[in-house]
Amino acid sequence: MMMKGPDKDEKYPISHYNRLCFLKNIITSPNIIVGDYTYYDDFKDVYNFERNVKYHFDFIGDKLIIGKFCMIASGVTFIMNGANHKMDGITAYPFNIFGNGWEKVTPKMEELPFKGDTIVGNDVWIGSNATIMPGVHIGDGAIIATNTTVTKDVPPYTVVGGNPGKEIRKRFSEEKIEELLELKWWDWKIERITENLHELTGPESRFL
């Protein structure tokens, strides 16, 4: 019987090691959606992941959507839309949240800055202590360097680093990136992925 990789529904896919999890299997928030085989590795506790999705309030309704086969390192933080303050007055101070008469200046939802859902594509590697700001879209195959603050969209197969994050280089030519986006290996059946591991991981791949 041919082996076909780990069980995507396992919480801890590496035996006797509970600091790495298949992320979708520990998520409790309905507004965080994660694809198969995406893993999160944490130095202390994998349940820190949801703790590091900050200002993610149900009443705002924004989603964090992460694709398949992503690699997310310890300390990665996602800042969601609930962190934004109304900024068209003299002050951005949120008086209303403290009540006691200050609730009279509670803004309407449409008056608050809203950047939309935060979306991470497939096969994305996010290095330790990176910060992803609200509404950012990270393309398939991108790499986010350690300690990067991502403030704007990242194109597919692009390496980004710094604060604010800036493009360091493309991983492949534009022509090859288009081919890889059409290939969509992450959507293959797991048996096909397993059969083609050398092609997916080797520098002499026929796909390159």
Q: Which residues are catalytic?
A: 85
- The stretches of the chain forming alpha helices (DSSP H) are 48-51, 174-183, 190-195, 197-201
* Distance from C-alpha of 125 to C-alpha of 146, rounded to nearest angstrom: 10
184 φ/ψ sector (left φ>0, alpha ψ -120 to 50, else beta): left
* Distance from C-alpha of 154 to C-alpha of 145, rounded to nearest angstrom: 12
* Distance from C-alpha of 139 to C-alpha of 108, rounded to nearest angstrom: 32
Q: Are 158 and 142 in contact (CB under 8 A)?
A: yes
* Distance from C-alpha of 198 to C-alpha of 185, rounded to nearest angstrom: 13
Contacts of 26 (CB under 8 A, 6+ apart): 11, 40, 46, 47, 49, 50
Q: Please state, in angstroms and as integers, the Cα–Cα distance from residue 174 to each residue in 155, 157, 163, 181, following that order.
A: 11, 9, 25, 11
Q: Are 21 and 39 in contact (CB under 8 A)?
A: yes
* Distance from C-alpha of 186 to C-alpha of 204, rounded to nearest angstrom: 19
Q: What DSSP state is assigned to residue 154?
A: B
